[in-house]
Chain A
Amino acid sequence: MTGRGIRIEGLKKRYGSGDTAVDALKGVTMQVAPGEVVGLVGPSGSGKSTLLKCLGAVIEPTAGRMTLGNEVIYDDGWKIRDLRALRRDKIGFVFQAPYLIPFLDVTDNVALLPMLAGEPNSEARQRALELLTALDVQHRAKAMPSQLSGGEQQRVAIARGLVNRPPVILADEPTAPLDSVRALAVIRILGDMAKRYQTAIIVVTHDEKIIPTFKRIYHIRDGVTHEEAGEGRGFD
């Protein structure tokens, strides 16, 4: 791995303590290579969200190791001081709902993070426009989020997740509200983006429509994962 891709070893997460403790994750191991899109599948309560939150450096795991590229970000304790910067620079998020900022136009929604980080506005917007073009929504560049359709909003959200070229993208049920055509379209886009920008993408889902598209799937049950080869049927 050359600074991209993600590896997790023996990740544990316990909520609470004593008698009321709940072990959401009991030792998760997984890895995703750059350019790869893997699925993370499991029923509710299986620890999907918890795993995602750990991966996203939003909550602190109890034990284990997480490596991003060749940087160990967690080894029984955070090895990174500024988690927020980690999230900003190294991890991209795609949510169930687009969660676009309603008072910024599409371009600014995508370019927001770089601009807040101090990058000149014109450069940031230029990068945003490139991503929007790659996602085929450039014709909506000046519109406000409320004027876009659901699918367009989701694409903009994906562009936002990609704007900082993070090595990892975590997608949480990105196709849940969508119909099969659009759902497949989203997964196709994610696959394109992954290839183009060499991003490792983990898609948490239980959407039956898209599970067959993954080449590799991690099943998670009762806080433990095991790998499976997916059908990898692609996006037809």
Chain B
Amino acid sequence: MNFSALNRRTLLLLAVLIPLLLLLGYVALRTGPLAAVPVTVTTVESHAINPALFGIGTVQARYTTLVGPTVAGRVKSLDVHVGDRVRAGQVLGEMDPVDLDERIRSQRAALLSTQAQLRQAQTQRDFARTQATRYAQLLAAHGTTEELLATRQQELQSAEAALQAAQDAVERARADLAALQAQRSNLKLVAPTAGLVTARDADPGSTVVAGAPVVELIAPDSLWIDTRFDQLTATGLAAGLPARIVLRSRSNQTLAGRVLRVDPVADAVTEETLAKIVFTPLPQPLPPIGELADITVALPALPARPTVPNASLQRVDGQLGVWRVEGDKLQFARVKVLGRDLDGRVQVEGLKTGERVVVYSQRTLSARSHISIVDHIPGVSP
């Protein structure tokens, strides 16, 4: 061995210890709370943005007709199925007349009977009239008493009254018959307008109450989308605005539409504004009723103004604002939001173009934070 054995040993030991100390120093200064916070910054630019509103809607028919009987009864037959198109006036089905036919026959018989009674009343009246005339002639010829004449005249009057009554009875019987017949024809379920059958609520043989729908029809051209917008984000919603519609089942297709109207009554429980969106034009095949759709209503474009990403907005001490980068210091700038679009851009008041603001940071920032500007936050692959 040589003289520098000691020195070699020392060197070796230092070779181990010095990196250790350096590592310790690095660890102390670069990690943990003493380290600088990596942030990304962007420059405020003036952009025009296209704000839009987003809501979820359900496809519905504007006009739905419920066809059903006006009296309780049993469904006798239904000739249409769901999905059939029907014309106005088309017979869709029939209710069971039950005893209606019998009641019509009975009413007919009653009518005949009243008519017979009418004839009888007429005969009696004619006879009473003849008698009254004869006795009047007889009285003139002093062939009878006044009392008998009065009696015959009174008989004539009652015969007239009876005749009137019989006529009224005939009228009534006829009216009753007509009513039953009208009902009989009402047993036919008839489509009041042309449409599409969307439901058969009772199959033949079922008993339904008066007013219960048996067949539901919609006017297929009257499809609209009942859309809900969160009230907080529904500023600017108005009739006539263009809309983009994406149906759930056709998510790769964007359809065109328009806001037909904004409902005057909003939903106070769910805090949503309701609006009706129509297709322009109606897509073929028709989307099923009840399908969900994503609606984006385009608001009028806003003029170019200083714009920042919405990731920059933060709230510090109750104030909304952004962190402005000046040199290597941070300063919180309060801003007012003038407009936002759905892609995360926000137009603000309170910043000038060319200023740099923080977009992403690895930790919460404060005015005293040391920052180091990076391209993207370490540990996050975009």
Chain A count of residues within 8 A CB distance of the other chain = 5
A142 close to chain B: CB less than 8 A: yes
**Distance between Cα atoms of A188 and B5 in the complex (Å):** 32
Give the 6 A-B residue pairs with the shortest CB-CB distance, closest first.
Answer: A142-B3, A147-B1, A105-B6, A143-B1, A144-B5, A142-B6
Enumerate A205-220 residues with CB–CB distance to B below 8 Å.
Answer: none
Most buried by B among A142, A143, A147: A142
Q: Which A residues are CB-close (under 8 A) to B5?
A: 105, 142-144
Closest B residue, CB atoms, query A143? B1
Closest B residue, CB atoms, query A104? B6
Q: How far is the CB of B82 from chain A (nearest CB, A)?
A: 100
Interchain residue pairs with CB less than 8 A apart (10):
A105-B5, A105-B6, A142-B3, A142-B5, A142-B6, A143-B1, A143-B5, A144-B1, A144-B5, A147-B1
User: Which range contains the number of B residues in contact with the other chain?
Assistant: under 10
Enumerate A53-95 residues with CB–CB distance to B below 8 Å.
Answer: none
Q: How far is the CB of B239 from chain A (nearest CB, A)?
A: 95
Closest B residue, CB atoms, query A144? B5
Q: Which B residues are CB-close (under 8 A) to A144?
A: 1, 5
Q: How far is the CB of B20 from chain A (nearest CB, A)?
A: 22
Q: Which B residues are CB-close (under 8 A) to A105?
A: 5-6
**Distance between Cα atoms of A144 and B6 in the complex (Å):** 9
Interface residues of chain B, those whose CB is within 8 Å of chain A, are: 1, 3, 5-6
Q: Which B residues are CB-close (under 8 A) to A143?
A: 1, 5
Q: Which A residues are CB-close (under 8 A) to B1?
A: 143-144, 147
Q: How far is the CB of B4 from chain A (nearest CB, A)?
A: 8
**Distance between Cα atoms of A1 and B5 in the complex (Å):** 46
Enumerate A140-165 residues with CB–CB distance to B below 8 Å.
Answer: 142-144, 147
Q: How far is the CB of A216 from chain B (nearest CB, A)?
A: 43
Beyond A142-B6, A143-B1, 7 additional pairs, beta carbon < 8 A: A105-B5, A105-B6, A142-B3, A142-B5, A144-B1, A144-B5, A147-B1
Closest B residue, CB atoms, query A146? B1
Closest A residue, CB atoms, query B4? A142
Q: How far is the CB of A74 from chain B (nearest CB, A)?
A: 42
**Distance between Cα atoms of A144 and B3 in the complex (Å):** 10
Enumerate A100-156 residues with CB–CB distance to B below 8 Å.
Answer: 105, 142-144, 147
Q: Which B residues are CB-close (under 8 A) to A142?
A: 3, 5-6
Closest A residue, CB atoms, query B7? A142
**Distance between Cα atoms of A143 and B6 in the complex (Å):** 9
Q: Which A residues are CB-close (under 8 A) to B6?
A: 105, 142
**Distance between Cα atoms of A147 and B6 in the complex (Å):** 13
Q: How far is the CB of B245 from chain A (nearest CB, A)?
A: 87
**Distance between Cα atoms of A147 and B5 in the complex (Å):** 12
**Distance between Cα atoms of A171 and B368 in the complex (Å):** 74
Q: How far is the CB of B134 from chain A (nearest CB, A)?
A: 172
Closest B residue, CB atoms, query A142? B3
**Distance between Cα atoms of A143 and B5 in the complex (Å):** 8
**Distance between Cα atoms of A46 and B203 in the complex (Å):** 132
**Distance between Cα atoms of A85 and B149 in the complex (Å):** 182
**Distance between Cα atoms of A143 and B4 in the complex (Å):** 9
Closest A residue, CB atoms, query B2? A142
Q: Which A residues are CB-close (under 8 A) to B3?
A: 142
**Distance between Cα atoms of A147 and B1 in the complex (Å):** 8
Q: How far is the CB of B6 from chain A (nearest CB, A)?
A: 6
Q: How far is the CB of B150 from chain A (nearest CB, A)?
A: 167
Q: How far is the CB of A140 from chain B (nearest CB, A)?
A: 11
Closest B residue, CB atoms, query A105? B6
Closest B residue, CB atoms, query A108? B6
**Distance between Cα atoms of A144 and B1 in the complex (Å):** 9
